[in-house]
Homo-oligomer: A and B are copies of this chain.
Amino acid sequence: MDISPLAPKNFPDMPPIDGVKLATKSCGIKYENRADLLIAELAENTVVAGVFTKSKTASANIIWGKQVLYHGKARVLVVNAGNANTFNGKCGEDSVDRIVKSIAEDWNCPKEEIYPCATGVIGEPLPDNLITDALSSLKNNLTDNIWQDAAKAITTTDTYTKGSTRTAKIGDVEVKINGIAKGSGMIAPDMATMLAYIFTDAVMDKDVLQEIFSNAIDRSFNSITVDSDTSTSDTALVFATGKAQNDLINKASAPKLDDFKEKLYEVVLDLAHQIVKDGEGATKFVKIDVTGAEDDKAAKIIALSIANSPLVKTAMAGEDANWGRIVMAVGKAGEKADRDKITVSMGGIIIAKDGQLNPDYVEANVTAHMQGQNVEIATDVGIAGGKATVWTCDLTHGYISINADYRS
């Protein structure tokens, strides 16, 4: 598979994070000649928060994660690629039980501090013995500086590895934030065949961390779409090892956490954008701003209606300034829009306003904008102050080629 033309130039230089050790291994679940298993050992008392898929056919791993998350502590994260352990009935739950039991013994930790994740094909039994057999070797090879290997081990149809890093200040103390993610198809809010793991050395209260993380996810992973399809395995987790020396803060709204919130959001937004840029067959990265909606929720529904419209997405692929399809997608969203006040622009150029074509509109200018890799669509629907931004990619022959024979 060729690397996406929208891929970043480099994997970022990510520092070790105190309290996080990593190891990867090729355990033969599906892929040949590459690691397909990641383990992250977290310091004792590491705090965890997370968000999972809302799919009604979620995997056994998701069900486990949702059950234990309220404990708020994590000691071991294990992720396998190639088999999603989904729709195996009782068999999927047995696999999770065996993996968790084995890790609990090896690490001598409570089961509820173990997060097993899986991504890949649906409906095939997980050969969990390949995972449990690999554990002792992984435990002996833990190290603190293999972020790109870790990001690589969790990929499936991704064409590049995805990482992001920031530092933030909590009071006078500098804390680190590293994130890795995978995903390229079956990407839509709530959430995607998307796995994202964020690690920080900050000292954090679990409820505060959950509130900050949920808010950041809403405006990042839950604001992207590649193909409107939602996976059975989506998981985003954040681990705070507490090794930094910052004060514990008990309110998410405390100004002292502003910089941390901003930098954490930058990391998840960067990862979310990288996932869209690796959208199957993507050649354009498309930002969609909706303003003037009844409220923010309505704005997001309209923005996703535009982002998921196959006709809008193919127009992007064709570099065709077919703004009528944007109007169509606004209309089909079902949310209030004032036909005679709608404004549509691309690349900052006003195409239509007050419900009709802008008399000064020059199509060639928009076409030139669309020929770049980054396309911006904005619409104001003329009702009230609701706004939202979502990101997507175009729909190309590449998407069809990749997905018409993924399993073969």
Chain A interface (Cβ < 8 Å from any Cβ of B) = 54-58, 84, 86-91, 121-124, 185-186, 188, 190, 227-232, 308-311, 314-315, 317-318, 320, 322-325, 327-337, 339-340, 342, 352, 354-357, 395-397, 399-401, 403-408
Are B403's CB and A318's CB within 8 A?
yes
Are A310's CB and B91's CB within 8 A?
no
Are B404's CB and A87's CB within 8 A?
no
Are B57's CB and A400's CB within 8 A?
no
Residues of B within 8 A of A357 (CB): 88, 123-124
Are B121's CB and A324's CB within 8 A?
yes
Residues of B within 8 A of A328 (CB): 55, 57, 122, 186, 229-232
Are B327's CB and A232's CB within 8 A?
yes
Our pick among B54, B310, B327, B401 for the contact of A123 (Cβ within 8 Å) is B327
Q: Would A332 and B122 be within 8 Å (CB), given that A315-B403, A317-B400, A404-B315 are in contact?
A: no
Q: Would A404 and B227 be within 8 Å (CB), given that A56-B336, A310-B310, A327-B123 are in contact?
A: no
Given contacts A88-B357, A227-B311, A397-B401, 9 further A-B contacts (CB under 8 A): A56-B334, A57-B328, A84-B324, A87-B327, A89-B355, A122-B328, A123-B324, A231-B328, A396-B400
Are B87's CB and A324's CB within 8 A?
yes
A355 to B87, CA, bound (A): 6
A54 to B335, CA, bound (A): 11
Our pick among B87, B190, B317, B327 for the contact of A122 (Cβ within 8 Å) is B327
Residues of B within 8 A of A401 (CB): 397
Which among A84, A308, A318 has the highest number of chain B CB atoms within 10 Å? A318
Our pick among B320, B332, B395, B405 for the contact of A318 (Cβ within 8 Å) is B405
A317 to B404, CA, bound (A): 6
State the copy count for this chain: 2
Are A185's CB and B311's CB within 8 A?
yes
Which among A87, A327, A333 has the highest number of chain B CB atoms within 10 Å? A87
Q: Would A331 and B56 be within 8 Å (CB), given that A228-B308, A324-B87 are in contact?
A: yes
Q: Would A334 and B122 be within 8 Å (CB), given that A87-B327, A311-B403, A314-B403 are in contact?
A: no
Are B355's CB and A318's CB within 8 A?
no
Residues of B within 8 A of A408 (CB): 318, 320
Residue of B nearest to A322 (CB): B407
A331 to B395, CA, bound (A): 23
Residue of B nearest to A401 (CB): B397
Are B57's CB and A337's CB within 8 A?
yes
Residues of B within 8 A of A86 (CB): 324, 327
Looking at the assembled complex, report how far the CB atom of A297 sits from the nearest CB atom of chain B, in whole angstroms: 15
A210 to B356, CA, bound (A): 34
9 contacts between A and B (CB under 8 A): A56-B331, A57-B331, A87-B355, A89-B354, A123-B352, A124-B357, A186-B328, A322-B406, A396-B404
Looking at the assembled complex, report how far the CB atom of A229 sits from the nearest CB atom of chain B, in whole angstroms: 5
Are B404's CB and A327's CB within 8 A?
no
Residues of B within 8 A of A186 (CB): 311, 328
Are B56's CB and A337's CB within 8 A?
yes
Looking at the assembled complex, report how far the CB atom of A349 sits from the nearest CB atom of chain B, in whole angstroms: 15
Looking at the assembled complex, report how far the CB atom of A286 sits from the nearest CB atom of chain B, in whole angstroms: 14
Are B331's CB and A58's CB within 8 A?
yes
